[in-house]
Every structure is written in C-alpha cells, then in structure tokens.
Amino acid sequence: MKFGILVNEGPYTHQASDSAYQFTKAALEKGHEIFRVFFYHDGVNNGTRLSVPPQDDRHITNRWSALAKEHQLDLVVCVAAAQRRGLLDANEAKRNGKDADNIADGFRISGLGQLIEAGIQADRLVVFGD
C-alpha cells in the first residue's frame, strides 16, 4: 500500500515529527511504499541542516535524511510555509536575495500542490500534528 504522511509540527517541541518518523519506519519495514512525506506549518523546521541537538538526544533532521537516503523517500517542505519561517534552499535563497540556505540533505522545497497530489496518489494519508 502507498502512504502519504503530513507533518504539521517542528522538531522537539511536539512529538508529531517523532511519531511520523516511527510510523514511516514501521510502514517501510512492513514493505509498504511511502509516496511522500510533506512538511507543513512549523513542520518545515524539520528540514533545517543547522540544528545541533545535544549528543545524547536524537537528531530529528539527520534521522529523516538517513531514512530518505536508505529508502529514496520524497521529503517535501512547503515553500510558502518555509519562506515564512526562514527555511531556504539555494534557489530560493538566490531568488529572495538571501545570503544563505539551510535545507538539509534529502529534503526538497516545493508547493502545496505536492500535498494534494499525495492525497490523490497515496492509498492512505496520515496526519501528525499538535
């Protein structure tokens, strides 16, 4: 079965991203396909490569990046939500005249249409938020 995942909250403050990660991992272990993980609202903050959590804590962003690499996951950060919150890839940084980008490996920035497409193409959509 094909799953779409929506993550509405950023890392650490809420458990949403952790729950979404555990669910995604379990679905992959069961042989399901993850059509896309879409990050919206503060969820876009899961995609920053600048976070430096303490050594003894989980690294939420790196964990997503590693899972994406291992399973060719499509991790999509909403462009409108990302721009509001200061998450940029190289293209967006250039287009908006910013001097840096901060998107992590395995994440890409795209439009809200990608969320609707996930709703259409996936057999099930699961929402994690606050």
Partner 1 sequence: MLLHTVNKSPFERHSLQSCLRFAQAGSSILLLEDGIYAAIQGTQFQPLLQEALNDKKVYALLPDLQARGLPSEKIIEGITLVDYGDFVDLVASHSATQAWL
Partner 2 sequence: MSDEDMMDDEAGGGVVKKFLYVNRKAPYGTIYALESLEVVLIGAAFDQDVSLAFIDDGVYQLTKGQQTDGIGMKNFSPTYRALEMYDVEKLYVDQDSLTARGLNAEDLIVPVEVLNTTQMAELMETQDVVFSF
Which residues are designated catalytic? Answer: 78
Helix, strand, coil content of the chain in percent (nearest 5): 40, 20, 35
- Residue that is written with structure tokens 């439009």 in the block: 111
Q: Specify the 3-state DSSP secondary structure of 98.
A: coil
- The option from partner 1, partner 2, none interacting with 16 (CB < 5 to 8 A, set by class) reads partner 1
- Rule CB under 8 A: which of 90-129 touch partner 2? 111-113, 115-117, 119-121, 123, 125, 127, 129
Using rule CB under 8 A, residue 3 touches partner 2 = no
The Cβ of residue 77 has, within 10 Å, a number of other Cβ atoms equal to 28
Single out the residue of 5, 16, 73, 81 in contact with partner 2 (rule: CB under 8 A). Answer: 81
- Rule CB under 8 A: which of 17-76 touch partner 2? 40-41
